Each structure stands twice: as C-alpha cells, then as structure tokens.
Structure 1
C-alpha cells in the first residue's frame, strides 16, 4: 500500500514537472512506474498506456533511452538553473556546491542514448 501512495505522489510531482520548467517529469514517472509495478498492476498499466508518458517509460525500461527532446530540455534546464543559482548566490562556496550537485545528473543525462524512434525528432 505504501508503494502505491509513493507512486501516486511521484505522478503528482511529474504532473507538476510537466507544467514547471525547472522540475523534471521523466524521473518522477520512472519512480512512479517502479512503485506501481510492485504494488498495483492496474495503475502500472494505466501509466504505461498513457499516450504522452507511456512511450517514455517503455523506452527507458526496454532500452535505457530517452527522447531527444526530453534530453535537450533537461540539459538546458539544468544549465539555466545552475546559471541562475550562481547569479543569485553571493558566496563562491555555495555556487561551487550547486555546480557539484548538478554535475553528476548532467553527465548521466548527457550520456544516455536517444530513443530509436525519436532520434530525428525535436
């Protein structure tokens, strides 16, 4: 039951991420899918059959790949968020902390392969 509630929470965060440019969508959906896969086959199938989010989740599960558009938007959002944070934060040690915290996820997303059927799309 706990996994079902966590999955619903992450679907809510993903929906917020779809509307807000700084909050990611895909990672939240992947966590939700993992929670639903173990707790609620009905909710898992509903998420996978969603025509907007389902293909992204299936690409990740089958190929560990993301669409080109999602990759570009993620990387640009990270760069803009870091740039804004470094502009707003007055002290260099805080700026370096922000850069250090974002470097790992940035490299991870940068190295992800593109979805086969989405390589030419943007």
Structure 2
C-alpha cells in the first residue's frame, strides 16, 4: 500500500508541475494531494515537498489554517475566467454553460472565503 500512496503522490507532483505551465490546470490542489499521499508513504518525500522553497509555504498554510495566499486566489480566478470564457467562445450548449457557471462559482466562493495565507 505504501508504494501505491507514493506513486499517487508522484503523479500529483507531476500534474502540479504541468499546472505551473498550463494556466487551466490547477497546481496547489495537486500539491496538497501529493502531501497527503506522501505523508502516508514516505517521510523523505513528504519532508521534501513541505520544505520546498516555492511550494512548501502554500502547503503549510493550508495544513495549519486552511489558508490560501492572495496570489493563488488571483491565479485561480484568472484560470476560472479563462475556462469559462473559452467555453463561451466555443459556443458550448447553454445547459453546459449553466452547469459550468454554477460549479465554477461554487469553487470561487470556496477559494475567496478561505483566510489569506
């Protein structure tokens, strides 16, 4: 089971790295999942992730107080706007746009009501 957790953690780190480059793929949720998986599989990998110069503070903010840094909130908002804007430009069916608007609005409410890290 330990290898499964470690593998899932590494996959999440890989997806997070892709998310650094692709604005439509979130980074922080994958890092939080990776920290979760590594905590159950490898203290070395978990320690590496939470002490990482760039990503560690984001993870620790969330673990300590459920906080999200303002820059991450802004980046998430821009991504959501880009995704919804692309959907509108592609003239997706109205029922898809309505579902997307409701879900993305709920995500934004969740993100913006978290404390600042």
- Runs (4+) off by over 3 Å: none
Distance 1:92 1:40 in 2: 46
Number of residue pairs aligned between Structure 1 and Structure 2: 115
* Matches for 1:87-106 after TM superposition, within 5 Å: 87-106=89-108
Cα distance, 1:62–1:31 mapped onto 2, change above 3 Å: same
Match of 1:39, SS state, is: coil
Cα distance, 1:54–1:90 mapped onto 2, change above 3 Å: closer
Aligned to 1:60, which of 55, 62, 65?
A: 62
TM-score w.r.t. the length of structure 2 is 0.92
Distance 2:55 2:16 in 1: 10
Give the gaps of 5 or more residues in structure 2. none
Over aligned residues, Cα RMSD in angstroms?
Answer: 1.1
